[in-house]
């Protein structure tokens, strides 16, 4: 079962679980895993949802035996990555880690989801469970949005993370530039001489942090949608540049597989096909919560600051989880 809300939309949606249709698909970071959600998208009655009893008994037991990296281990890994970036002259590489919480008796799943919905109006919020796996997230990174009638395709270049109260430095500004270039180059290949509409770069606020963001739009041929998504994912915001080399390094150096983290969720409605990057998210178990966080590393990165950035990002989901001790 899945429950979700689109950005700036108070309506709650789910699916009718008719197995003949799959309007929602989860894609893992490495494209090795795909989860199809059965059914057409339907609006759910909010008071009816509030009456539902969704206990943590529906969650699977965590038998992974994963042990999260310590701060010292992660700082050491960051030093190695910064060295690799310098040696290979990479514009950016994204490194991630898991935070694992076990000190609770149960999770109030419904109230945790409600908290995310209240606190992140500009994000896509979801709660998903199927008996084998369960995830929850809230994020506003769009891989793509396609209008079926106008054939307009929109995406965003988003990078750089600092607390809302701080000012941008050269590190964040330089981190976002190659992300925009990467996306622009892909869209140009499919533009057929149609102009790319590009916004000014502006602040995108998400809870306690902000990012640099640029919106890009273009008219495309319908048959080009799948190839564009294939080329865009994983974007520099979740992988790095160049994509193939960064993905190789990530698979070698990261302690855990990313699973659905930094993958994307495809949602097809009557009028649009939307692709959301699965970033601020957690995998839920009966006896643990695995929070996924990461950050863009450049030659100018400071390991201590990068650690603090992941700590800030983890709060996006963590502070909204209702754990009963």
The domain spanning residue 61 has which CATH number? 3.60.120.10
Mean local confidence (pLDDT), 123-144? 94
Residue with tokens 């899945």: 2
pLDDT for the residue 178? 85
224 preceded by a cis bond (ω within 30 of 0): no
Neighbour-count burial of 106, counting CB atoms closer than 10 A to its CB (0-12 exposed, 13-18 middle, 19+ buried):
middle
φ and ψ of 91, to 5 deg: -65, -35
Which of 114-118, 194-198, 206-210, 311-315 is predicted with the least confidence, judged by mean pLDDT? 206-210
pLDDT for the residue 131? 86
The total number of structural domains in the chain stands at: 1
For residues 232 and 325, the model is more confident at 232
Q: What is the pLDDT of residues 47-84, one digit of tens each?
A: 999 998 898 999 999 999 999 999 999 999 999 999 99
- DSSP state string for 267-316: EE-SSEEEEEE--SEEEE-SS-EEEEEEEEE-TT--HHHHHHHHHHHHHH
Mean local confidence (pLDDT), 204-217? 90
Mean local confidence (pLDDT), 262-291? 96
For residues 177 and 276, the model is more confident at 276
pLDDT of 140 > 90? The answer is: no
Q: What is the pLDDT of residues 249-268, one digit of tens each?
A: 999 999 999 999 999 999 99
pLDDT of 19 > 80? The answer is: no
Neighbour-count burial of 322, counting CB atoms closer than 10 A to its CB (0-12 exposed, 13-18 middle, 19+ buried):
middle
**Euclidean distance between CA atoms 168 and 141, whole angstroms:** 20
What are the E-state strand segments in the chain? 2-5, 12-15, 24-27, 34-37, 41-44, 92-101, 106-107, 124-129, 134-139, 142-147, 152-163, 197-198, 202-206, 209-219, 240-241, 264-268, 272-277, 281-284, 289-297, 323-324
pLDDT of 223 > 80? The answer is: yes
pLDDT of 280 > 90? The answer is: yes
Coil vs helix vs strand at 193: coil
Q: Residue 115 is part of which domain span?
A: 2-324
Residue count (the chain)? 325
* Residues in Cβ contact with 202 at an 8 Å cutoff, skipping those fewer than 6 apart: 212, 213, 214
The answer, as to whether pTM is greater than 0.85, is yes
pLDDT of 164 > 80? The answer is: yes
pLDDT for the residue 161? 87
């Amino acid at each position: 079962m899945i429950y979700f809300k689109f950005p700036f939309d108070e309506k709650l949606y789910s699916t009718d679980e008719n197995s003949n249709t799959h309007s929602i698909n989860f894609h893992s970071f490495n494209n090795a895993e795909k989860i199809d959600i059965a059914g057409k998208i339907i609006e759910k009655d909010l008071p009816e949802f509030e009456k539902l009893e969704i206990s943590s008994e529906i969650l699977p037991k965590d038998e992974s035996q994963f042990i999260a990296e310590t701060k010292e281990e992660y700082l050491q890994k960051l030093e190695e990555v910064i060295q690799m970036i310098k040696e290979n002259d990479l514009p950016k590489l994204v490194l991630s880690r898991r935070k694992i919480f076990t000190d609770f008796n149960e999770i109030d799943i419904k109230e945790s989801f409600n908290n995310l919905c209240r606190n992140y109006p500009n994000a896509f919020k979801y709660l998903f469970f199927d008996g084998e796996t369960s995830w929850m997230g809230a994020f506003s990174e769009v891989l793509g949005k396609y209008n079926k009638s106008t054939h307009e395709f929109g995406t965003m270049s988003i990078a750089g993370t600092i607390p809302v109260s701080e000012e941008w430095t050269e590190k964040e500004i330089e981190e976002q530039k190659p992300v925009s270039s990467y996306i622009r180059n892909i869209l140009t290949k499919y533009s057929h001489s149609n102009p790319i509409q590009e916004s000014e770069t502006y602040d995108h606020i998400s809870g306690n942090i902000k990012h640099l963001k640029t919106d890009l739009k273009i008219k495309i041929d319908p048959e080009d949608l799948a190839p564009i998504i294939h080329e865009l994912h994983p974007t520099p915001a979740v992988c790095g540049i160049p994509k193939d080399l960064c993905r190789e390094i990530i698979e070698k150096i990261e302690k855990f597989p990313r699973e659905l983290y930094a993958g994307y969720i495809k949602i097809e409605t009557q009028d649009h096909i939307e692709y959301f990057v699965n970033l601020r998210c957690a995998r839920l178990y009966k006896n643990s919560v695995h929070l996924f966080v990461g950050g863009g590393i450049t030659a100018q990165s400071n390991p201590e600051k990068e650690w603090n950035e992941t700590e800030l990002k983890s709060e996006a989901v963590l502070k909204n989880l209702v754990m009963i001790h």
